[in-house]
Chains A and B, each alone.
Chain A
Amino acid sequence: MDTFKLEVITPNGAIFDGDAVEVTLPGEEGEFGVLPHHASLTTLLKAGVVDIVTVDKRTESIVVNWGVVQVTENKVTVLVDGAVAIRGEDESDIAKVLEDAKKLLDDVSESNMALASVSAKVESAAHKLI
């Protein structure tokens, strides 16, 4: 199976660093997905959710508030400002993470529509975990 290396880096260190088979990014001009051997590209991201499909077919979601992504043949580097990974052991953990994610988005979102659509996505990702 083809994979590529994915790094999601915040000013406080890497939040994801590993192999992935697919990643969906909230590009400034719309959402786009990246598979292995994607053409090289560099672009800005807006606030949204980064969905990662890892090698063992798990989906991991990371909420970001801003970012730049650089895609090269077998490596994707995402630089973000603030990020919250939607993951946790139990319900209370996840509830806390959700709150963090919402706070992060509240600070940046310019329109309520965008905020609502992202929030919905975050919640559905969280529900899958429970």
Chain B
Amino acid sequence: MANLKDIQRKIKSVSSTQKTTRAMKLVSTAKLRRAEELAKRSRLFAQKTNAMIAELANQIECMKIGGIENRAFNEVETPKMVDIIFVTADKGLCGGFNMQTIKAVRKLMAEFKDDKVKVRLRGIGKKGIEYFTYNQVEMLDKVIGLSSAPDMNRAAEFIGASIQDFKDEKIDGVYVIYNGYMNVITQELHVNRIMPVDTSDFDCGDSTKGSLLEIEAEDSEKMLDALITKYAEYNMYYALIDSVAAEHSARMQAMDAATNNAGEMKKKLTVQFNKARQEAITTELIEIISGVESMK
């Protein structure tokens, strides 16, 4: 039989754990609201950029024989080397949030390995970096602190290196993997191909009726180039803010589950405690009664 004091101590410890998890959940809820708001506002920029790129690309395609020369729009037949950028959280205690991303990275890496494509791994977020370091997977870049505080300039700088290598034909593709926010209870894993640009994303229907833009061909090539860079930078930034929102929602969920579990555990322990107490009383009573009996 468990000791009364032991059980009491356990109940106390579970209660204090519950307090912590409940507080963490509240913190995440507040942070999630802010992150979600930012992500929502930010999506407008993506819409406009995509529309503009689609329009420009369409136009150049119409004007020029042989289509667009820009490397970003042409599929690479036999890629030799690609960049994979992953985004995880800097902190744990958020359920399977980081692990999902890591698994997706491993899967993609395995696929490339089968196709004999070399992979350069670039990491954002402490948890993912720790995992790959432990498993002795080489990483080209390790950035900690960016995923918890997204910043457009730093994001641009980070992806800029990959884009430059892509333009210089050192690499043949750039992928970004992150766990994004869907709603408060679900996260959605994204594996985005940034380069070459996946044109199927763009809403072309809208742009065909597009205005007759007065631009010269050379200008539009230049503009397209600038827009593509922005597009990549923005996508990186969006991956970060989306990931933050998802991280908070995942943590909220995990902490909610932990609080509930602690509550259940407390209930069980209380029942155990009561049983033990009753048992003790019963034994005492029996002792007294049998003592009285023997005195008769």
Chain A residues within CB distance 8 Å of chain B? 7, 9-14, 39-44, 66, 68, 70, 72-73, 77, 79, 81-82, 107
Contact = CB atoms under 8 A, between A and B. Distances in A.
Contacts of A10: 45
12 contacts: A11-B237, A12-B42, A12-B152, A13-B38, A13-B42, A42-B220, A66-B230, A68-B226, A70-B52, A77-B48, A79-B45, A81-B230
Contacts of A72: 211
Contacts of A77: 48, 52
A9 B234 CA distance: 12
Interface string B162-201: 0000000000000000000000000000000000000000
Given A70-B52, A79-B230, A43 B223 contact: yes
Contact of B152 (A13, A70, A81): A81
Contact of A42 (B42, B45, B213): B213
A7 B52 CA distance: 14
Contacts of B42: 11-13
Q: Decide if the interface of chain A is mainly helix, strand, loop or mixed.
A: strand
Contacts, number: 66
Interface string B47-87: 01100100110000000000000000000000000000000
B248 to A, nearest CB: 18
A40 B210 CA distance: 10
Given A12-B38, A68-B223, A68-B227, A41 B214 contact: yes
A8 to B, nearest CB: 11
Contacts of A39: 214
B215 A43 contact: yes
Interface of B: 38, 41-42, 44-45, 48-49, 52, 55-56, 152-153, 211-215, 219-220, 222-223, 226-227, 230, 234, 237-238
Contact of A11 (B214, B215, B234): B234
Nearest to B49: A79
A72 B215 CA distance: 13
| Ranked 7 nearest A-B pairs via Cβ | A13-B41, A40-B211, A72-B211, A11-B45, A42-B213, A9-B45, A40-B213
A12 B230 CA distance: 14
Q: B38, B45, B212, B223: which has the most chain A beta carbons within 10 Å?
A: B45
B230 A40 contact: no
Q: B38, B44, B55, B153: which has the most chain A beta carbons within 10 Å?
A: B44
Contacts of B230: 66, 68, 79, 81
A110 B219 CA distance: 21
A44 B223 contact: yes
Contacts of B52: 42, 68, 70, 77, 79
A100 to B, nearest CB: 14
Contact of A79 (B48, B55, B237, B238): B48
B152 A82 contact: yes
A82 to B, nearest CB: 7
Contacts of B215: 41-43
Contacts of B220: 42
B131 to A, nearest CB: 29
A70 to B, nearest CB: 6
Contacts of A70: 52, 213
Given A70-B52, A73-B211, 20 more contacts: A9-B48, A11-B45, A11-B237, A12-B41, A12-B45, A13-B42, A13-B44, A40-B213, A40-B214, A42-B213, A43-B223, A66-B230, A68-B52, A68-B226, A68-B230, A79-B45, A79-B49, A81-B152, A81-B230, A82-B153
